[in-house]
Chain A
């Protein structure tokens, strides 16, 4: 039983990465009906920017800000840099193409993905990079026989705070309602005085920023990062998006967490080598039996 709980905690940890990335897919799809294939690479870019800050700048800043301050700064700078990249990609690769239809936009998104990946390789090199070790003290807590690390607690805490903030902004503010309204019916939304460009700005700022923060957390958790990791995480997060119902933000959050837990349980009880296969099996099964996601149409409030 302990193993189950431990795997659930591990699963929630990686699930929160998927969830944070999935939110970006879901927001962009909800508003623009575009699958932003470059999104996984925003995540990677965030991981690398965070890496740079933590490694290169740590000597200078740690004195002033302390370890926790440094981590917050790394997350913040990564989020900001990647958000600006997201806005630039939207401007250059997507906006000129919207009027030509959905398929050209998908091709353009793939192009943007390859471009960002290669740019990362050029800047940081093709080899793995490693986040500093012992960044977070390796403290283990034992709760009822179940191990949980300080880093895991930190990651879960940060992810849940980020998701809660996004949830509140989207569900409880008038601007959030405007984003949801634009996703439902862009033309009628403009009759309300909603500027669609601002909505696009919002989703292409927040989505990549959340992905980037997930990237920094993944770097701290696994330590090793590579310029191609966006594909794998991107695909899993995309699976989570489908699982929760694409365009449905709470769905994306739960989809990510559920997927992470299933992956870890599958790795523990069936076969670790096959865990990615389970994930895509889940994707295929959901697409066949619940194409609107696990939560179906009823609660699917499309954003």
Chain B
């Protein structure tokens, strides 16, 4: 199965100095799929995404995209290969305009004006508010708008894989629903998605499969439906909310 996977992470180990943040994580993402990685604070979710994006080096194990080894490749080349990330906490460039933020999302193909324009139209179609706020500084946007900009910006490189790190963080429930609808739409348009979330309920609703990270290791994985009905998962990650239908 990992043979045909678009993205395959195998036995990945990551260290921050002497702290081992990931201790042998394996997962895969098939073409066209949405998968989610759940886990408590400090479980290693962001570390996993940053390893895939090439921001943190891996000590052991492999990350393959379309069969090509990504380990050791610098972050800016990984974007160019077709993997982009909307990072935790949005990380929009606050003193740059919305337009400049979007343009930077397409930095690797900035000379292909037609492609940039097309990507921008797509981002505007998904997030009409970005068009309204086009000339505004990103730092002046609301939290929800900044999240939309972060996702729109990540789409500007027309990625094969979109990595999303807690897109629902700190957003009001209506906005969370809106963001998840758009994530679904992005997926239907052909982008495979690896979604990191703490809102397990919403994430399991949209993802085909899920992995639970615990202390840097995958403790449970499987189809979302199975995880949703798993008694232990419910207690640990879904809390009372699991009982309300999503």
Contacts and interface: CB of A to CB of B under 8 A. Distances in A.
Interface string A180-201: 1100110111111111100000
A174 interface: yes
Contact of B93 (A175, A184, A190): A184
A194 B104 contact: yes
Given A174-B103, A187-B55, A188-B87, A193 B94 contact: no
B91 A185 contact: yes
Interface stretch (B4-12, B24-32, B105-113, B180-188): B105-113
Contact of B105 (A175, A192, A195, A301): A192
A190 B76 contact: yes
B80 to A, nearest CB: 6
Interface residues of B, number: 27
Given A174-B103, A174-B107, A193 B157 contact: yes
A265 interface: no
A191 B86 CA distance: 9
B55 A195 contact: no
B152 to A, nearest CB: 13
A27 to B, nearest CB: 16
A178 B107 contact: yes
Contacts of B107: 174, 178, 192-194
Contacts of B80: 193
A175 B107 CA distance: 8
A245 to B, nearest CB: 12
A236 interface: no
Nearest to B103: A174
A178 B96 CA distance: 10
Which one of A188, A190, A196, A301 has the greatest number of beta carbons of chain B within 10 Å?
Answer: A188
A153 interface: no
B93 A188 contact: yes
* Contact-size category for A: 20 to 34
Interface in A172-228: 174-175, 177-178, 180-181, 184-185, 187-196
B170 interface: no
Contacts of B84: 191
A26 B4 CA distance: 50
A302 interface: yes
A190 B74 contact: yes
B95 A191 contact: no
B91 A177 contact: no
Interface in B100-122: 100, 103-105, 107-108, 110
B79 A191 contact: yes
B96 A191 contact: no
A158 B153 CA distance: 38
B106 to A, nearest CB: 8
B103 A177 contact: yes
A190 B53 CA distance: 9
B191 interface: no
B75 interface: yes
A300 to B, nearest CB: 8
Interface of B: 53-55, 74-77, 79-80, 84-85, 87, 91, 93-96, 100, 103-105, 107-108, 110, 153-154, 157
7 contacts: A180-B96, A180-B100, A181-B96, A191-B53, A191-B154, A192-B76, A193-B75
Interface of A: 174-175, 177-178, 180-181, 184-185, 187-196, 301-302
7 smallest CB-CB distances across A and B, nearest first, come from: A193-B79, A193-B108, A190-B75, A188-B91, A177-B100, A192-B104, A301-B95
